[in-house]
A and B are shown apart, each in its own frame.
Chain A
Amino acid sequence: MECVFGLVGDGFALIAADSSAVHSILVHKSNEDKVMILDSHKLLGASGEGGDRVQFTEYIQKNVHLYQFRNGIPLTTAAAANFTRGELAIALRKNPYLVNILLAGYDKDIGPSLYYIDYIATLHKIEKGAFGYGSYFSLSMMDRHYHSGMSLEEAIDLVDKCIMEIRSRLVVAPPNFVIKIVDKDGAREYAWRESVKDAGIAPA
């Protein structure tokens, strides 16, 4: 039931993901951040099996940081995507990670880019993409409304349309979403879309 989707706009790329942490029929929490900030100019949105998601994405994040410490220069988005795909490919025939990833980044010379990496180490460079049951709805909405070079306002409007579709049409729809963007000024959280706030501690 996890939904992750993303798109490339004019000078930026964004990733939206649901924020439910679910185990069987129980929702542990509904403000789980599934879009990791990989480095100053990269985002990693991931959906998948319980421990694998955090384990694998943190492993990638630390390796990306290690490269930068060792070599004094950051990895390009393409290099990070290929590295990630390679790690999934190596693990695939031993003990696969059941994690699907959308990697968004901004490089000074190329601009924004988005990569689709699924759990069997498929890699595609894309303009828009999605994972999970929500993808049936978000991909259709994006197919209808997306065009290249969208402004941030247009893109956020499209993201909201997608979230609305998911909320109204998916049987066990996640209530809350996080949206993060990456552009020349770096990778950062843009907004949350909450329809259910986690209840605070009840007063005694």
Chain B
Amino acid sequence: MSRRYDSRTTIFSPEGRLYQVEYAMEAIGNAGSAIGILANDGVVLVGEKKVTSKLLQTSKSTEKMYKIDDHLACAVAGIMSDANILINTARVQAQRYTFAYQEPMPVEQLVQSLCDTKQGYTQFGGLRPFGVSFLFAGWDKNFGFQLYMSDPSGNYGGWKAAAIGANNQAAQSMLKQDYKEDITREEAVALALKVLSKTMDSTSLTAEKLELAEIFLLPSGEVKYQVCSPESLSKLLVKSGVTQPTPDSS
């Protein structure tokens, strides 16, 4: 019955659903998960890497985390090629704002602007929606540190902790239980790693399967976006008790 109503995004079904948008969210449900947590001194983003081959060149590029502007970064879940287009759009919008106002773009305005783009693809043009969900993390002088989640429909919300991608329901309920209000960045990292380890399919968590990025303020007042190196990530995993330390070879 519903087959009649799912070929075009611009059509509602009789039950009032947009099937293409829902199918897009299905696609994301199969992608690598990502978790974001808002701490009182920063925002933490952790992502699960799906592509883990020894042959992959992973020196500089990231799979899950992308910097949009000096004060804003995002984690993605879904179709990577779609994500690249939207990330580029977001970067252009941020620079365009800075060109006009000579100030960094407020985080919510960037998210809103990108979501307006996504919404367009659910209403006109006859093109399919973007199969990506985002977790935006950033800082601005109006509202400090912020975390936003957006999905293919173009809806977005501000969150204290959120999860996207595979098993996001389970991750979200775990975050709800363990999140506490004045959480520090360090505690947030530990919490994110713990939740991810429980919801990821793989049996053991190693640094190659993860990406960790943090947004925080330097003593100078500048916003810093830092991707954790694999070495420090391994140490963190051991410290938070998620992996066993490698036995010293005698």
Contact = CB atoms under 8 A, between A and B. Distances in A.
A73 to B, nearest CB: 5
B142 A83 contact: no
B101 A75 contact: yes
The prevalent SS among residues of A at the interface is helix
Given A71-B109, A73-B106, A82 B101 contact: yes
A86 interface: yes
A79 B142 contact: no
A22 interface: no
What bracket does the count of chain A residues touching chain B fall in? under 10
Contacts of B106: 71, 73
A76 interface: yes
Nearest to B97: A79
A73 B99 CA distance: 19
A183 to B, nearest CB: 21
A73 B103 CA distance: 14
Given A71-B109, A73-B142, A79 B99 contact: no
Nearest to A73: B142
A78 B142 contact: no
B103 to A, nearest CB: 5
Contacts of A76: 103
B103 A86 contact: no
Interface in B85-110: 99-103, 106, 108-109
A82 B102 contact: yes
A178 B108 CA distance: 40
A198 B102 CA distance: 43
A79 B109 contact: no
Contacts of B101: 75, 79, 82-83
A82 B100 contact: yes
Contact of A86 (B99, B108, B109): B99
Nearest to A86: B100
Interface string A69-85: 00101011011001100
Going nearest first, the 4 A-B pairs with the smallest beta carbon separation are A79-B101, A82-B102, A79-B103, A86-B100
20 contacts: A71-B106, A71-B108, A71-B109, A73-B106, A73-B142, A75-B101, A76-B103, A78-B102, A78-B103, A79-B101, A79-B102, A79-B103, A82-B100, A82-B101, A82-B102, A82-B103, A83-B100, A83-B101, A86-B99, A86-B100
